[in-house]
Chain A
Amino acid sequence: METLITLLVGVLVAVGVYLLLSKEMLRIILGTAILSHAIHLLLLTMGGLKKGEVPLLTETAAEYTDALPQALILTAIVISFAVTAFLLVLSYRVYQESGLGLRGQEDE
């Protein structure tokens, strides 16, 4: 399972990098969003995927799944949400100010 998710992370990073290297602002922003998802998945995988019972609910289970990575990516998702929202607003302001369409500086 871990190998499969790691491969998925690789695909997401590839897509994210491809989008980041394009000229359109909107694509670049989507690229950062996809890259963030890739990193979140990696963080989850690094702690090991489902290894045992849900933590804390039962006292009898022999092994518990590590809950820390989930807490970490929850925080990271909130941050990436805020940053992506800010980037979208910022690129909209750039569009309003320069009237260039949501494109990078190369098209000026």
Chain B
Amino acid sequence: MNNILVLPMILPVLVGVMLVFLRPYIRVQRILSVLTTIASAAVAAYCLQHIHLNGIMRLDFGDWLPPHGILFVGDSFAMLLVLVACVVSSIILLYAFATTGIETEVMFFYPFFLFLVAGVNGSFLTGDLFNLFVCFEVMLLASYVLLTLGGRKTQLKEGMTYVLINVLASWFFLLGIAYVYGVLGTLNMAHIAVRVAETGQGPLLTLIAIIFLIVFSLKAGLLLYFWLPGSYSAPPIAVAALFGALLTKVGIYALYRMFTLIFIHDPVIYKIIGVLAGVTMIAGCLGAIAYSDIRQIVSYNVIISVGFVLTGLAVATNTAFQGASYYLIHDMVSKALLFLLAGTVVYLTGRSKFNEISGLIRNYPLVGWLFFLTMLAISGIPPFSGFIGKVYIGLGVIETGSYVLLAVSFLSSIGVLYSLLRIFLNSFWGETIISEDDHKPFQKTIGLPLVLLAILVVGLGIGAELLSPYIEDAANALTNPEQYIRAVMGDNLE
């Protein structure tokens, strides 16, 4: 029964390999890839309900009992992220159909898209540290290809930086794994957690924890984000949206897993994360306000939200974890929508600086109002999806009395609002710049994915009550690591 836990990863891999052989048949590739992501989402939804009723799921590959074999562990936190990742990537695929262009599609666009989804899902589900490394690499190799596919000059330039940074981060990750294996003699995450608790988190283990903090901060864009704005604004729109929605979230997930399950005995690390999160939010706001290139502004918004979500980890209370789970889900959906909208504006006008564009709402009212709605959602105005996450993270921060962090994180919301409002006022209001001859028709195929994502943004806000049992499960699993450890180790505890 637990075998279905592997499907969200293995389905995209298998179908992706199949699609390589179906290269000339673009239509078949499109249909199969979107069916795959929808099927993965359905499996994830089923698993989520199963976890809610029966507790954390576990799949031991080849029946090697932990800690000896590789395993997948599905707890509510991971499974919620898998579900949203699959749903969002299905919708982004719909957008990719309309905008990618046949010459890119034929260069194995869809297989790599699916490999990326597989890597992301695998990273969420795995319960083994080395397996996490491998899933990261699957995801990253696919992202290298998607980033550089098309071979425009900016793509190649940003691609080079992105690849080198990530290669270096990967070797640091491996360094951390080597140290963990040398010190603790195991790579199963639950088993590592048990052994860390037994030996106590001495200086050596804190050093290892900091290596992991550096690695995952690089992946998540926590302070070490200098590579992010460039490489997220270079690729085609659909790919940029996929990156903005999923890639940093994997890093954030890994940080949450590491510092709620394994290295939980040293409060200094949470202080460090808090400082990093605060600085990230401030720097992200400065970036978002400083640039006039729409795609850059949107990329800096990703950085602000990374800082905001990790505020929840820095205070590490149950309420904050609930908020972080809500906010991560909201962020995946709304960042995908924001990237798609920003890309659509650039595509429709052919310009990327917001002060060169005006009056778009007269020509494309749908894009304009959707942008307005996204802006409200991201800055956390009810009844949209960002509100509840912000409230709960805020409550968590107040519980622990970290008022500086509270001030920074809520001022960052104003930064977000300001940076997006500037785009809205300049580009959408005012006299239109598009003459009737230049007016590009707005295809329904572009509108559909945008509307679907907008429905999700509104639905997540209004229907938060429906989600709350699963969110509570996720937060409880994060607050009580014993749940996770018992689900994995069972009776094998030494």
Quick check: is B137 within 8 A (CB to CB) of the other chain? yes
Q: Is A87 in contact with B134, judged by CB distance below 8 angstroms?
A: no
Least CB distance, B186 to chain A, in whole angstroms: 9
Quick check: is B224 within 8 A (CB to CB) of the other chain? no
A47: which of B130, B134, B148, B182 is its contact (CB, 8 Å)?
B182
Q: Is B160 in contact with A90, judged by CB distance below 8 angstroms?
A: yes
B181: which of A32, A43, A91 is its contact (CB, 8 Å)?
A43
Quick check: is A83 within 8 A (CB to CB) of the other chain? yes
Least CB distance, B176 to chain A, in whole angstroms: 10
Quick check: is A82 within 8 A (CB to CB) of the other chain? yes
Least CB distance, B155 to chain A, in whole angstroms: 10
Q: Which residue of B lies closest to A41 (CB)?
A: B178
B133-164 residues with Cβ-Cβ distance < 8 A to A are 133-134, 137, 141, 144-145, 148, 151, 153, 156-157, 159-160, 163-164
Q: Is A46 in contact with B178, judged by CB distance below 8 angstroms?
A: yes
Number of interface residues, chain A, beta carbon within 8 A? 30
Q: Which of B42-50, B166-174, B344-352, B384-392 contacts A (4 or more CB under 8 A)?
A: B166-174
A14-37 residues with Cβ-Cβ distance < 8 A to B are 20, 25, 28, 32, 35-36
Least CB distance, B178 to chain A, in whole angstroms: 4
- With a cutoff of 8 Å between Cβ atoms, the chain A residues found around residue B130 in the complex are 72, 75
Quick check: is A76 within 8 A (CB to CB) of the other chain? yes
Q: Is B134 in contact with A75, judged by CB distance below 8 angstroms?
A: yes
Q: Is A43 in contact with B178, judged by CB distance below 8 angstroms?
A: yes
Least CB distance, B440 to chain A, in whole angstroms: 28
Q: Is A43 in contact with B177, judged by CB distance below 8 angstroms?
A: yes
B141: which of A28, A43, A82, A97 is its contact (CB, 8 Å)?
A82
- With a cutoff of 8 Å between Cβ atoms, the chain A residues found around residue B167 in the complex are 32, 83, 87
- With a cutoff of 8 Å between Cβ atoms, the chain A residues found around residue B144 in the complex are 86, 90
B168-211 residues with Cβ-Cβ distance < 8 A to A are 168, 170-171, 174-175, 177-179, 181-182, 187
* A53, B354: Cα distance in complex, Å: 68
* A86, B148: Cα distance in complex, Å: 11
- With a cutoff of 8 Å between Cβ atoms, the chain B residues found around residue A43 in the complex are 174, 177-178, 181
Q: Is B174 in contact with A86, judged by CB distance below 8 angstroms?
A: no
Least CB distance, B165 to chain A, in whole angstroms: 11
Quick check: is A10 within 8 A (CB to CB) of the other chain? no
Least CB distance, A85 to chain B, in whole angstroms: 10
A105: which of B141, B145, B157 is its contact (CB, 8 Å)?
B157
Least CB distance, B170 to chain A, in whole angstroms: 8
Q: Which residue of B lies closest to A91 (CB)?
A: B160
B194-242 residues with Cβ-Cβ distance < 8 A to A are none
Q: Which residue of A lies closest to B182 (CB)?
A: A46
Q: Is B156 in contact with A42, judged by CB distance below 8 angstroms?
A: no
Q: Is A39 in contact with B156, judged by CB distance below 8 angstroms?
A: no
Q: Is A39 in contact with B171, judged by CB distance below 8 angstroms?
A: yes
- B residues whose Cβ falls under 8 Å from a Cβ of A: 130, 133-134, 137, 141, 144-145, 148, 151, 153, 156-157, 159-160, 163-164, 167-168, 170-171, 174-175, 177-179, 181-182, 187
Known: A47-B181, A79-B134, A97-B151. 6 other contacts (CB 8 A): A25-B160, A39-B178, A45-B182, A79-B170, A93-B148, A93-B151
- A residues whose Cβ falls under 8 Å from a Cβ of B: 20, 25, 28, 32, 35-36, 39-40, 42-43, 45-47, 68-69, 72, 75-76, 79, 82-83, 86-87, 90-91, 93-94, 97-98, 105
11 contacts between A and B (CB under 8 A): A32-B167, A36-B174, A39-B178, A43-B178, A72-B130, A75-B130, A79-B134, A83-B163, A90-B156, A90-B163, A98-B153
Pairs A-B, 5 closest by C-beta atoms:
A46-B182, A43-B178, A46-B178, A39-B174, A42-B178
